[in-house]
């Protein structure tokens, strides 16, 4: 055991001095010493919250497994030369054991690294979101968890190191709680607080007289405990999940005025930390509605502040009250783009295809932008990778050569000029698509295999069901469900291109395949007649054209079905979805010219399962009819549909009635999701020219809301180009 002189990096010192090589014990040892020594505990007297700021070079947040930031260590050495020997020793000991920090080196083959460098496919490159039971320490206390750990130790012998690590992690949580209680009492002893601040700090002092060992008694105490555990997650990188369900018992026993104050305070914290997805409402396995008065309070707070965060999701179903839909409408109309609406009638059957029983499928929540998890029971909302579907068409046209790099990154599916009919062309596209999908899942499994070997997440193990029961880490198959999600991008671009090939080359014979291949290879320069024909064609997805929609149905359903045949390294199955985040313009910029008239590297590209922005010209009903050509019970991740409404119309009584009728029809027909922006097109255009005048303008991007002026110009152009209804 090393005698450290430095007082810096308590987690690293605890990790290094652990006498066991067990990864969970090492992580828990670091946790416990950090809990005892960290100076990063703060009570916000204005909000009544207990906050932790994870700023050390070594650590293990609720989100991140054990980490060691080599660059941060080197900066500490530079600023603290007297501690250099100790700090460098910590780095030298930790880095070789943390291979999950360098997936580019340890996580991929050379071929996979080359393929992902082209920008059209990736997999497994990050730790991923999840939905732990953050409130459980508030609801049942750490003593209850200790009893669970010991019961599982008895039932599952031979894993003493794991269970010792869990108890040590619970010790760390108790130490942090005790320190917050001590800090509160110290603040109360000083004559610096207003009456309102004093009342909030006194509640914190009272809370930690019994918590975290014992359950919290009301919503105020629950919020203090929740903020403590949630802020251990790092700087707002994960998702509260099913908040109106797990906090409701504490909410309903608290004075209405006080609980509303604390909900609004928590909302400020969520916004300041850039918190991800919070989920409300939904159904149980018998289709009973789960909404409660906390659900309505959350919608009211969302409308009041109109922040871009947290990313609020509301689940709807056959028995959703009309009153709740109208409350959601008012929040959306505020301009924040939230809540996003998800349909249990599509999502629950999709999850049940994976073998998840209804009692758990109806506990689904969103994390991150819109990845789907089972609250407190899974590690499957990871967003394991993405595939650019339109690239499959490019590869068929180019003989497998990527236009971006000039390298043979696709399959050689033959000379398209030699194809006898559309079926041969389409089969070649499917071969390319399956290959790209296999690359993404192969990368994901390879990278997640490294996490499985070296990552440790002791706090997350406690808060996700299955880990303690099986004595397996969260990253090592511990959670009950370990499915995966690969997302499709550039859907409509691929569909439009296939429609052009089928109709104009093989059916109407307006031009030959050779002429089309030559035009695409030349980026349509010198082929103006072909370019004008394909760009002004009515063969554009999103216009309720059955000819085009049938192509879309076959392509996307094939992608989703193929994924369901591939196992994850976490013990589940892959599924599909569509959530471009802020990468839609990027995907356009790595794509060569396409038969639908997309120019080489043009950033305008479909940013959801809907139309290429601006190409849906027959109204919102036509768009929804086209999108419903897909089987929405196949994708097991978020299947985003971005739709834009003019705010002057949306904020009228007629607009409300029209939207409610439109959304009801869509969800009745098993549409999965609606993601709504309420903006003025003129305002968007002016915001590009005068950004300082529109700092609060919010739009939906790819599964989340963001301030328009903070986006890249290419992404702004994509959003402006969306058809406004």
716 pLDDT exceeds 60? yes
Strand bridging mode 67-68 / 58-59: antiparallel
pLDDT value, residue 62: 66
| Structure confidence at residue 601 (pLDDT) | 94
Q: Which of 83, 99, 119 is the last residue of a domain?
A: 119
At which of 626, 645, 664 does a domain end?
645
Specify whether the CB–CB gap between 626 and 548 falls below 8 A: yes
pLDDT on residue 235: 57
Segment 104-109 mean pLDDT: 86
The alpha helices in 332-377, defined as continuous H runs, are 344-353, 358-361
Specify whether the CB–CB gap between 588 and 596 falls below 8 A: no
Per-residue model confidence (pLDDT) at position 32: 97
Residue 723 clears pLDDT 80, i.e. is over it: no
Least confident of 30-44, 563-577, 690-704: 690-704
Instruction: Report if residue 635 sits inside a domain.
Output: yes
Nearest alpha carbon to residue 342 among 667, 45, 683, 23: 667
**449 is a domain residue:** yes
Mean pLDDT value of segment 602-623: 93
pLDDT of residue 383: 75
The whole-number average pLDDT for the span 498-521 is 98
**pLDDT of amino acid 110:** 85
Q: What is the pLDDT of residues 223-274, one digit of tens each?
A: 999 999 998 876 556 899 999 999 999 999 999 999 999 999 999 999 988 8
Please give the average per-residue pLDDT across 108-129, as a whole number: 84
Q: What is the dihedral of CA 534, 539, 540, 543, to 10 degrees?
A: 150
Query: Does residue 710 or residue 416 have the better pLDDT?
Result: 416
Tell me the β-bridge partners of 567. Answer: 573
Residue 262 lies in a domain: no
- Does 535 score more than 60 pLDDT? yes
- Return the percent helix, strand and coil in the chain, to nearest 5: 50, 10, 40
Expressed as residue numbers, the domain containing 572 is: 385-645
Domain's final residue, options 614, 645, 676: 645
122 compared with 244, residue with greater pLDDT? 244
Residue-level pLDDT at 381: 77
Element (H, E) at 642: strand 642-646
Q: What is the mean pLDDT of the chain?
A: 94
Cα 440 from Cα 428, distance rounded (Å): 19
pLDDT at 229: 94
CB atoms within 10 A of CB 127: 20
Nearest to 228 by CA among 68, 366, 62, 374: 62
d(CA 193, CA 189): 10
Report the phi/psi class of residue 670: left, alpha or beta, with left for phi > 0 and alpha for psi in -120 to 50: left
Find where tokens 């029809």 sit: 665
What is the band of 684 on the pLDDT scale with cuts at 50, 70, 90? Answer: confident
Among 98-107, 578-587, 659-668, name the most confident range: 659-668
**Neighbouring residues of 140: CB distance < 8 A, sequence distance ≥ 6:** 215
- Residue 640 in this model has a pLDDT that exceeds 90: yes
Average pLDDT (171-184) is 98
Q: Residue 304: is its pLDDT beyond 70? A: yes
Could you tell me the pLDDT band of residue 92, with boundaries at 50, 70 and 90? very high
Residue 224 lies in a domain: no
Q: Flag whether 391 is in a domain.
A: yes
At 283 the pLDDT is 98
Q: What are the residues facing 366 on neighbouring strands?
A: 372
| Region of residue 329 (left: phi > 0; alpha: psi -120 to 50; beta: else) | alpha
Nearest residue to 129 via CA among 610, 675, 707, 638: 638
User: DSSP letter at 332?
Assistant: I
How many independent structural domains does the chain possess?
A: 2
Give every CB contact of residue 470 below 8 A, 6+ residues apart in sequence. 156, 477, 478
pLDDT in tens, 401-411: 999 999 999 99
Q: How many CB atoms lie within 10 A of CB 505?
A: 23
Cα 56 from chain centroid (whole Å)? 25
In a domain, residue 251? The reply is no
Note the pLDDT of residue 61: 79
Is 668 a member of any domain? no
More confident residue, 498 or 686: 498
For residue 468, being part of any structural domain is answered with: yes
| The two three-digit tokens of residue 599, written as one number | 């120019």
Q: How far apart are CA 720 and CA 723, in angstroms?
A: 8
């Amino acid at each position: 055991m090393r005698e450290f002189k430095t007082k810096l990096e308590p987690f690293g010192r605890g990790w290094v001095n652990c006498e066991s090589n067990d990864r969970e014990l090492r992580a828990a040892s670091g946790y416990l010493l950090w809990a005892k020594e960290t100076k990063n505990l703060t009570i916000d007297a204005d909000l009544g919250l207990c906050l932790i700021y994870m700023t050390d070079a070594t650590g293990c947040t609720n989100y991140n497994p054990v980490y060691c930031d080599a660059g941060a260590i080197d900066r500490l050495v530079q600023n603290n030369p007297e501690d250099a020997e100790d700090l460098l020793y910590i780095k030298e000991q930790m880095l070789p054991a943390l291979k999950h920090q360098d997936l580019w080196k340890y996580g991929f083959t050379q071929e996979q690294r080359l393929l992902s460098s082209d920008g059209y496919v990736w997999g497994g490159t990050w730790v991923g979101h999840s939905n732990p039971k953050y409130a459980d320490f508030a609801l049942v206390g750490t003593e209850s968890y200790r009893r669970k750990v010991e019961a599982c130790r008895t039932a599952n012998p031979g894993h003493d190191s794991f269970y010792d690590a869990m108890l040590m992690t619970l010790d760390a949580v108790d130490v942090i709680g005790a320190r917050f209680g001590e800090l509160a009492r110290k603040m109360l002893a000083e004559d610096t607080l207003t009456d309102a601040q004093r009342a909030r700090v006194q509640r914190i002092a009272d809370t930690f007289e019994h918590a975290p060992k014992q359950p919290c008694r009301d919503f105020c105490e629950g919020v203090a405990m929740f903020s403590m555990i949630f802020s251990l997650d790092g700087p707002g990188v994960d998702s509260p999940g099913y908040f109106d369900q797990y906090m409701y018992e504490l909410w309903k026993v608290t004075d209405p005025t006080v609980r509303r104050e604390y909900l609004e305070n928590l909302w400020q914290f969520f916004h300041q930390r850039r918190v991800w997805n919070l989920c409300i409402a939904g159904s149980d396995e018998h289709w009973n509605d789960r909404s409660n008065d906390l659900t309505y309070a959350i919608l009211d707070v969302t409308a009041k502040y109109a922040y871009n965060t947290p990313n609020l999701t509301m689940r709807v179903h056959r028995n959703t009250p009309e009153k709740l839909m109208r409350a959601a409408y008012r929040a959306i109309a505020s301009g924040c783009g939230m809540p996003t609406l998800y349909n249990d009638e599509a999502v629950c059957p999709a999850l049940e295809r994976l073998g998840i029983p209804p009692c758990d499928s109806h506990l689904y929540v969103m994390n991150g932008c819109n990845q789907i998890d089972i609250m407190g029971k899974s590690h499957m909302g990871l967003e394991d990778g993405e595939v650019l579907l339109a690239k499959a068409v490019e590869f068929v046209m180019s003989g497998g050569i990527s236009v971006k790099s000039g390298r043979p990154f696709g399959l050689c599916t033959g000379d398209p000029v030699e194809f006898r009919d559309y079926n041969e062309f389409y089969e070649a596209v499917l071969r390319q698509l399956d290959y790209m999908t296999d690359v993404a899942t192969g990368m994901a499994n390879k990278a997640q295999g490294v996490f499985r070997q070296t990552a440790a997440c002791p706090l997350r193990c406690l808060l996700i069901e299955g880990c303690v029961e099986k004595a397996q880490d969260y990253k090592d198959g511990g959670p009950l469900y370990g499915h995966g999600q690969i997302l499709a991008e550039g859907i409509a671009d691929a569909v439009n291109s296939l429609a052009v090939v089928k109709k104009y080359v093989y059916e109407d014979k307006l031009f030959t395949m050779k002429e089309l291949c030559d035009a695409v290879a030349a980026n349509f320069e010198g082929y103006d007649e072909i370019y004008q024909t394909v760009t002004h064609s009515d063969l554009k997805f999103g216009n309720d054209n059955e000819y085009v929609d049938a192509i879309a149905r076959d392509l996307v359903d094939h992608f989703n079905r193929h994924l369901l045949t591939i196992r994850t390294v976490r013990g589940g199955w892959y599924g599909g979805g569509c959530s471009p985040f802020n990468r839609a313009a990027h995907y356009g910029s790595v794509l060569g010219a396409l038969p639908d008239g997309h120019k080489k590297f043009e950033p305008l590209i479909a940013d959801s399962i809907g139309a290429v922005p601006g190409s849906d010209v027959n109204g919102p009903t036509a768009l929804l009819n086209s999108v419903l050509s897909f089987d929405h019970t196949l994708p097991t991740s978020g299947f985003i549909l971005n739709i834009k409404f003019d705010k002057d119309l949306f904020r009228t009584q007629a607009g409300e009635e029209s939207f409610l009728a439109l959304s009801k029809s869509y969800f009745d027909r098993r549409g999965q999701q609606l993601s709504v922006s309420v903006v003025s097109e003129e305002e968007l255009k002016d915001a590009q020219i005068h950004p300082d005048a529109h700092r609060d303008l919010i739009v939906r991007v790819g599964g989340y809301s963001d301030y328009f002026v903070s986006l890249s110009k290419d992404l702004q152009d994509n959003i402006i180009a969306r058809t406004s209804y």
